[in-house]
Amino acid sequence: MAKITDEMKNLIKTQQAFIATATPDGIPSVAPKGSTRVIDEEHIIFAESAGKTTYDNIKKNPRVAIIACDRAQMQSIRFSGKAEILTSGPIFEKSQEQMKKMGAPAPHAVIKVRVEEIYDCGVPGFGKKIA
């Protein structure tokens, strides 16, 4: 299984992450998610407060890609894997608390992605598979 390194964790923590999903018939969608966080070496989460396209797509097709990019450093990492929808439990409750502290709407779900593949999409990686 792909492992998220400390450098990758820092990129997600300090830069904007974007979530890519698709409908069951392949129509793509990309959305920024400021709540994106790494919870361990194999999982990334983000809060789903709006419940619109990203959430609807994940309910029907759990395959997602997450990209975090530092344009100034020309670093970019893409993670892909399968999403799980959480509506209760410790991860969900902690995410609700964090969103409240930020003054953001409470999420109605937290999306937990098990990372299966990792790609270096920066310079000089240009799409090289890391794990």
What is the pLDDT, as a whole number, of residue 50? 78
Residue 18 within any structural domain of the chain? yes
The two beta strands, 37-40 and 28-32, are unpaired
What pLDDT, on the 0 to 100 scale, is given for residue 75?
A: 93
Give the tens place of pLDDT for each residue, 17-76. 999 999 989 999 999 998 999 999 999 999 998 778 999 999 999 999 999 999 999 999
- Token pair of 130, please? 């890391």
Please indicate, yes or no, if residue 99 is contained in any of the structural domains.
yes
Structural domain includes residue 1: no
Number of Cα atoms under 13 Å in the Cβ half of residue 20:
11
Query: Which has the closest alpha carbon to 123: 80, 72, 81, 79?
Result: 72
Count of domains observed in the chain: 1
Name the residue range of residue 121's domain.
6-129
pTM of the model: 0.92
- The answer to whether position 20 is within a domain reads yes
CA separation, residue 107 to residues 69, 93, 103, 126, 129 (Å)? 24, 10, 12, 35, 33
Do residues 19 and 30 touch, judged by C-beta distance below 8 A?
yes
Note the pLDDT of residue 24: 87
Task: Bin 50: left if φ > 0, else alpha if -120 < ψ < 50, else beta.
Answer: alpha
| Amino acid 110: pLDDT | 96
**CATH number for the domain including 13?**
2.30.110.10
The answer to whether residue 110 is domain-embedded is: yes
Q: How confident is the model at residue 100 (pLDDT cuts 50, 70, 90)?
A: confident
Q: Is the pLDDT of residue 111 over 90?
A: yes
